[in-house]
Amino acid sequence: MMIDVEDLIALVRNYNPRTNADLIRKAYTYGFQMHEGQVRKSGEPYFTHPVAVAAILTEQRLDDASIITALMHDTIEDTRSTYAEVAELFGNEVAELVDGVTKLTNLQLSSAQSQQAENFRKLFMAMSKDLRVILVKLADRLHNMRTIKSMSPEKQAQKARETMEIFAPLAGRMGMQWMREELEDLAFRVLNPEARNSIIRRFITLQRETGDVVHKITVDIRTELEKANIDADVYGRAKKPYSIWRKMQEKDLAFSRLSDIYGFRVICGSVADCYRILGVIHGHWQAVPGRFKDYISQPKNNGYSSIHTTVSGRDGKGVEVQIRTREMHEVAEAGVAAHWSYREGVRAINPFAVDPANWIVTLAERFNEDDHDEFLEHVKMEIYSDQVFCFTPKGDMIQLPRGATPLDYAYAIHTRIGNSCISAKIDGIRVPLWTRLKNGQSVEIITAEGQRPQSSWIDIVTTGRAKAAIRKSLREEDRGRFVKLGQELARAAFDHVGKKATDKALRTAAKMMGLADEMDLMARLGSAKVTARRVVDLLYPNLVGKQAEEVDGTCTVIGLPEDQSFRLAPCCQPVPGERIVGITYRGQDVVIHSIDCPALEEFEEQPDRWIDLHWHSGRHAAVHTVSLEIVISNDAGTLGRICTLIGEQKANISDLRFTDRKPDYYWLIIDVDLRDVEHLHMVMTVLEAETDVAQISRYRDMTRKP
């Protein structure tokens, strides 16, 4: 629905009672006539778009010339209107603005590199003449993105990419953070709807679980400020889906681990109150180290002033709080538009507002017209505040995300350079590998033959390419360790049946299992993808069963009828020597539990199902599997020694699996085949005495039902 001209004038009068209403009516009528008969992709009259753009500019309290330009910004390009006619009817100022917007519209900012450089230069030259041109253009792009659904999928994707790459960063660089966030989120909706919807669904689930956290924390802050007799307004909000998505990507975190998905603003009357409020918040909540920034004492170059701090709020979740005065808030919301905004009919004089045209003029003057590529590099450095542009010693530019380190830079050049990196120099000075890079720095990577990626590097790098390369290298290194461990496991298992784990035997087993070679088999053994018992059983099926019979032919329990079958409960894994009890199941095996098994609690009210049993006396075969949970140091050879110790006790490892891996320790579960409880105690005692074993206990998985 199109906004009526009188409603539009009313919006302007709200902040500028001295507006030239007649001139706005004249522009409205002129634009309506010029676009008559034209329709948008949605089927609406085309003039609804210029009117909507004008309404967006009223939210920024812009002057009459900007509002009138918005109403006619497409007339010269799309209708029979001319520059001369606009100048005659509305004056040279409006004609220049309309012409400037028309020229910006015709620039293909996402075109090929060489042409893009020239177009960027034209963009900034136009902005340096009159900044209101870009304000109208940004409002034009915002309305187009809000109504993008009527376009073809291909056009939507092209516009969304251009918005994400050009217009959203430009809005942010000019201090119009609200517009940047909305443009990013609208583009995100087109480019990755599944990711956006998943974040929204997670938010809904979170609200259902925790209630309205924003309201609760807002009330908490207001209460503390009232106690301190400080007059201030408190606002809270959940951050935009794209903002959350970007943090998840940059920090490689899951949604549940993000600390600042909510943001709060405290707006007060004076700078002194800002610091008093900071004291109240830090006095009541614990500040998060490294998350405090004072942009009041050191404002950003676009005039932005505020105090940022993150504290541990309810349930220990990180809460970001911004503290600013009302004048600072106007600049924070309007950005460059604050320089043009009106209040009560006169240009508002805000001490925190700066003229952002200054940096554009400086930028444009710095480069001559012929040096387009250099111009583009520096323009991107200025606009893309979420990216870093560094240079090689030869002068080539490397583009990285903000927060990138020399390691990211090394992997961006080549995986080989990254893998062999030992240190770096920034602008000729040696720095640690975790140093955060800044725009314009020259980076030199120092490599060494034989250097391999460290597991700690994963936490240093930010780019997906670097993380993937490091993980791949670590996997290859792990494979070498797994091969050595597999060899130990195979040796112990073969010794158990009186055989040798020769290369030929292992090669034969690998072939029987469809694997490439014996090294592949050893790697799978070491990583617990294949058990040593399976390998031995595959090569010597008769020998394994025969040995069990020879060692112990009386592996039974006493107390059951001869024809009654039974099985051992997987939850408690009873072994000979332990007190046991049988639980009957109609038409099924009797299940045997250790007397102290927690699973027996559910049968306490059913005594008729219990059978008192005990093990047959004598020597049992080492066929009773017990799971051991072990924590060992992550040192070379530790796993091999553990396997050797188990083998020396004439126990066989039937399975091995890692449950957690840390840089210094491994948690693993080893399934060991034992004779009886005495054999179990012997194995555990030997392992507990090993210096590299931090912890050992019997592992009972109560989730495994009999």
Whether residues 678 and 645 share a domain: the answer is: yes
Query: pTM for the full model?
Result: 0.54
Question: What would the DSSP string read from start to end of 84-97?
Answer: HHHHHHH-HHHHHH
User: 674 Cβ partners below 8 Å, 6+ apart?
Assistant: 575, 622, 624, 625, 626, 651, 680, 683
Last residue of a domain, one of 584, 615, 646: 615
393: nearest Cα among 469, 446, 337, 472: 446
User: What is the structure's pLDDT at 378?
Assistant: 52
Catalytic position from the list 78, 93, 165, 294: 78
Does the annotation mark 77 as catalytic? yes
Q: What is the pLDDT of residue 433?
A: 92
| Residue 395 in domain | no
Q: Which residues of the chain have pLDDT under 70?
A: 1, 107-128, 210, 249-260, 301, 313-317, 336, 339-340, 342-348, 354-387, 395, 528, 542-556
The domain boundary residue, chosen from 316, 347, 378: 347
Tell me how far apart the alpha carbons of residues 11 and 147 are, in angstroms, rounded to a whole number: 22
Q: Residue 167: what are its φ and ψ, rounded to 5°? A: -75, -40
The single-letter code of the amino acid at 594 is S
What's the Cα-to-Cα distance from 92 to each of 27, 87, 95, rounded to whole Å? 14, 5, 5
Structure token pair of residue 413: 């050049």
Are residue 574 and residue 587 in the same domain, yes or no? yes
DSSP H or E segment with residue 391? strand 387-391
Catalytic-role residue among 77, 118, 495, 655: 77
Does residue 537 share a domain with residue 603?
Answer: yes
643 and 603 in a common domain: no
Residues 6+ apart with CB under 8 A from 188: 164, 195, 196, 241, 242, 245
List pLDDT tens digits, range 70-126.
999 999 888 899 999 999 999 999 999 998 888 877 766 555 454 555 666 666 666
Please tell me what DSSP assigns to residue 442: B
CATH number at residue 49: 1.10.3210.10
First to last CA, the chain: 67
Domain count, the chain: 4
**Amino acid 253: pLDDT:** 56
Does 176 share its domain with 96? Answer: yes
The pLDDT value recorded for residue 477 is 77
Answer yes or no: do 187 and 199 share one domain.
Answer: no
271 and 200 housed in the same domain = yes
pLDDT of residue 643: 87
Beta-strand pair 318-325/262-268: parallel
37 and 133 belong to one structural domain? yes
Tell me if 163 sits within 8 A of 110, measured CB to CB.
Answer: no
Domain boundary among 347, 369, 391: 347
Let me know whether 587 and 652 are in one domain: no
DSSP 164: I
600 and 666: one domain? no
Does some domain include residue 396?
A: no
Active site residue 78: yes
Locate 166 and state its tokens: 């050009």
Q: Is residue 662 part of a domain?
A: yes
Task: Decide if 429 is inside a domain.
Answer: no
Which residue range(s) make up the domain with 155? 5-191
Question: Is 53 a domain residue?
Answer: yes
Please check whether residues 160 and 268 belong to one and the same domain: no
Indicate the DSSP class of residue 39: B
603, 611, 699 from 606: Cα distances, Å:
5, 11, 27
Distance CA 593, CA 582 (A): 6
Q: Is residue 364 part of a domain?
A: no
Measured CA to CA, the distance from residue 484 to residue 638 in angstroms comes to: 11
Q: What is the DSSP string of 586-597?
A: TTSPEEEEETT-
Count how many residues are written for the chain.
706
Residue 366, classified by CB atoms within 10 Å of its CB into exposed (0-12), middle (13-18) or buried (19+), is exposed
Q: Looking at the domain assignment, is residue 408 inside a domain?
A: no
Q: Residue 194 corresponds to which tokens in the numbers above?
A: 């599944």
Task: Tell me how far apart the alpha carbons of residues 180 and 171 are, in angstroms, rounded to a whole number.
Answer: 5
Q: At what angle do helices 532-539 and 541-551 cross, to 10 degrees?
A: 100
For residue 368, the model assigns a pLDDT of: 47
Residues 174, 199, single domain; the answer is no
Residue 217 lies in a domain: yes
CATH number at residue 219: 3.30.460.10
